[in-house]
Structures are given as structure tokens and as C-alpha cells.
Amino acid sequence: MMKITVGSTNPAKIAQIRDALAPAGIDVRGITDKRLLPEVIEDQRSVQENARKKALAYAKALGELVLSVDNALFLDGLPPEQQPGMYVRRIGGREAATDTDLLRHGSELVQSLGGRTTGYWEYGICVASPEGKTWETTIRTPRVFTSEASSAIVPGYPLESIQIDPETGKYIAEMTAAEQAAFWQRTLGEPLRKFFEGIR
């Protein structure tokens, strides 16, 4: 069985990748001790470049194959200068907004678009080896966004409370564990499995 370490200490992100790759028979592991990961400044021009920078640094530090994922958010109808883009967590000049602040800001952005809009997440994906070899891809997954937040909140991923799966019409935050796993397998898992076929 192939083993891959997700270069993140965010439990929600680790669970997301684990759920997405479950049918592929890949053993997905996360990092619980932040001290194991070197600090990496995400100062690149794209999610792909940021994912590559993190994956290379983490793989070298851990001495194993590392998967790094960087996200960008785009809302249809929002002017380019107002798009969250690569800076979803950087609100008002702060480097890392709290989950509460992020949810409030996201709701306000959607409200400015009439309370409901479509959009997508762009995922920059990079796997790096300790020797510096990399494999990369980019994945886009569509969403429906609403300013009416669900009362259910996923720690680390608060915007799941204003995102609706276009296929099922359910808030992602309100899905059961099994429904969330199926959602991630459908939206991220299928393209990720094809990507990993080129790494094995």
C-alpha cells in the first residue's frame, strides 16, 4: 500500500484528503506536531507554486513523500480585486483570520452578490520526495455559496457552513461523515486517484 503524508496539521484538511483517497488504497497520514514542519512563507504567485514550495520543504524535513495542497477561492460575480483567491485567511491585513472572522467575511461577500452565487475552489496539488522530485496537478471543484450560514461548523474549514454541494443541495457542514467522504471522493478523489497513478 502506498503511504503519503499530508503536509498539514489541520485535522479537517487531513480528513478531507484521507476521505478523497480512501477508495484508492492509499495510506494517508497527517502531522500532529507542528514542530516537525519547517516554517514556509507562502509568497508565491499561484496555489501551485505555494504547494510546490511547501511540499519540497516538508519532504526534505521529514525524509518522506509529502503531499501539499494549497487552496484558492473564487466567487462568480465578484470583481477581481475583491476575490478571496489565494488569500482566503488574510482578511483586513491579518495573516490568519479566526474561523469566526472567516465565516463572517465569507457570508458578507456572498451577501454582496445577492445572498447566493456559484464559484469554485482551486486546489494546487504537489507531491515531493526528499530528493526533490515533484509531481503536480491543479483541480477545480464547483460550489454553490449562500450568505445564510448553517449552524454546523467544521473546525478549520468554517466556509463549509456557507457552501452547498451542487449535486445534492446539502450544506457541506451538515453532511454526515459518510456523506462528506462520498462528497470528497467525488469532487477531489477521482482526479487525485488519476494523479497518483502517475506516481506509483
Please report where in the chains the cell 483541480 appears, as a residue.
139
What integer pLDDT is reported at residue 153 of this predicted model? 92
- Which long-range contacts (C-beta less than 8 Å, at least 24 apart) are formed by 131-134? 132/56, 132/59, 132/60, 134/52, 134/55, 134/56
CA 116 to CA 166: how far, in whole Å?
12
DSSP string, 176-192: -HHHHHHHHIIIIIHHH
Q: Closest Cα to residue 4, out of 57, 51, 59, 75? A: 59
Total domains in the chain come to 1
Q: Does residue 19 contact residue 31 with C-beta atoms inside 8 Å?
A: no
Out of 9-13, 29-33, 152-156, 161-165, give the one with best mean pLDDT.
161-165
Residue 178 belongs to domain with CATH number: 3.90.950.10
pLDDT higher than threshold 70 for residue 94? no
pLDDT higher than threshold 70 for residue 179? yes
What integer pLDDT is reported at residue 92 of this predicted model? 66
Q: Does residue 71 contact residue 48 with C-beta atoms inside 8 Å?
A: no
Q: Which of 7-11, 90-94, 99-103 has the lowest mean pLDDT?
A: 90-94
Q: Look up the pTM and report it.
A: 0.86
Domain that holds residue 119: 3-197
